[in-house]
Amino acid sequence: MTRCFTIGAAAFVYFSIFQMINNMKLLLVVALLALIKASYATLLIKGPSQPVLEGDSVTLECLYSDSEQNISQVHFEVFSRYMQSWRTVYERSWCFFSMLTERKDNSLVLSIPHAARYSEGPYRCVSTAENATEDSSEPLAFKVHYMGELSLSREGYSKYLGVPQELKVHPGDDVVLKCSASSSEKPSYFWHQEGSDWILPSSTLTLRKASVADEGQYTCMAEHPSVESLSKKRSVRITVLPEDAPWFESSNGRLILMTSAAGVALLVFILSMSVFLCRRAKQTNTSKGPIDDHSQKKPIYKGSSESLPSACGDKQPLV
């Protein structure tokens, strides 16, 4: 009886030890799986999958493939084309240049209220955690479509000075106008004359030896190749002066007068300032200080045997 009890007790002890070892193995496996799962959690970045228009709002989101991972040590980075390197995205709020970040339970959100041409990126999520094997996500870039205002220029003297709303030319003058606009993609340009039935598919309008028949309202149109809503236009009226009109009545003549007047004014200003500075320098050189005062023939220094008169007329020694 005693022997049976001893064998049963030993078996129970062995069984308990075996069960404890199995439990420890199970805990070790669970911990190992959790560690592997944590090590291979992937950082993801979500954002626009299609191009956006300039001025639209854009939202980017950083998150882990495993929602249980800590997002507190994750931040956004953007690739700088000028510096050719990644830099941290800092929150800023200034007019249309706002970028706001918000940290939620399982994600980090970057909001761009007004997307602009410099907002394209690419962006990525980066973790600074020590145990993170994959410290950054795949980059994400999105296209921002835009088109600026149309500008008109005339070949020749006024190329860099712009074109007025009414362009006055002499009979027989050559008129070459070109319109252009900054855009995310090269626009298509068209010229059209009001009241006519032709459309010129070009950014340049050329009128050789202008005559009265060429007078009218001309409009340049620019269309974005990918976004129909992005289109601009600008008009200019061309007027052909009479044969006996003075040269200065034309637009180019007025520009010449204006620039000549500006040059003369600048020259007068420079001469006036030169004369003023010369006179001031001359006055400075001829001005006399106390030591040059002719009422006193020579300066009196300390230690001199001469004395100075007092306010009462008595001579006082100079100390």
Q: Is residue 319 part of a domain?
A: no
The CATH number of the domain holding residue 85 is 2.60.40.10
Same domain, 132 and 97: yes
Q: Considering 253, 271, 295, which residue would you say is the last residue of a domain? A: 253
Same domain, 182 and 247: yes
Q: Considering 112, 145, 178, which residue would you say is the last residue of a domain? A: 145
Number of domains in the chain: 2
Q: Is the pLDDT of residue 306 over 70?
A: no
Q: Is residue 274 part of a domain?
A: no
Arithmetic mean of pLDDT over the chain: 77
Q: CA-CA distances (angstroms) from residue 129 to 52, 70, 123, 135? A: 33, 9, 19, 8
CA pair distance 108, 128, nearest whole angstrom: 14
Outline where the chain has alpha helix (H).
Answer: 2-39, 251-286
CA pair distance 287, 175, nearest whole angstrom: 63
DSSP-derived secondary structure for 159-226: TTT---SEEEE-TT--EEEEEE--BSSPPEEEEEETT-S-EE-SSEEEESS--GGG-EEEEEEEE-SS
Same domain, 131 and 184: no
> What's the number of CA atoms in the CB half-sphere (13 Å) around residue 54?
16
Q: Is residue 48 part of a domain?
A: yes
Encode pLDDT of 86-145 as tens digits. 999 887 766 556 788 998 888 999 999 999 888 888 999 999 877 655 588 999 999 999
Q: Considering 231, 253, 275, which residue would you say is the last residue of a domain? A: 253
Q: What residues does 309 pair with on adjacent strands?
A: 315
Same domain, 131 and 216: no
CA pair distance 117, 274, nearest whole angstrom: 47
Percentage of residues of the chain with pLDDT beyond 70: 66
Q: Is residue 190 part of a domain?
A: yes
Same domain, 110 and 173: no
Asked whether 114 and 94 are in contact (CB, 8 A), the reply is no
Same domain, 112 and 155: no
Q: Find the domain containing 217 and state its range.
A: 151-253
Q: What residues does 125 pair with on adjacent strands?
A: 76
CA pair distance 130, 138, nearest whole angstrom: 19
Helix/strand number for the chain, H first, E second: 2, 19
Encode pLDDT of 172-231 as tens digits. 989 999 999 999 999 999 999 999 999 999 999 999 999 999 999 999 999 999 998 899
Q: Is residue 266 part of a domain?
A: no
Q: Is residue 289 part of a domain?
A: no
Q: Is residue 276 part of a domain?
A: no
Choose between 67 and 108: higher pLDDT. 108
Positive or negative, the Cα torsion across 279, 282, 284, 287?
A: negative
Which residues touch 149 (CB under 8 Å, ≥6 apart)?
181, 232, 234
Asked whether 131 and 112 are in contact (CB, 8 A), the reply is no
What the block records as the tokens of 303 is 């230690």
Q: Is residue 315 part of a domain?
A: no
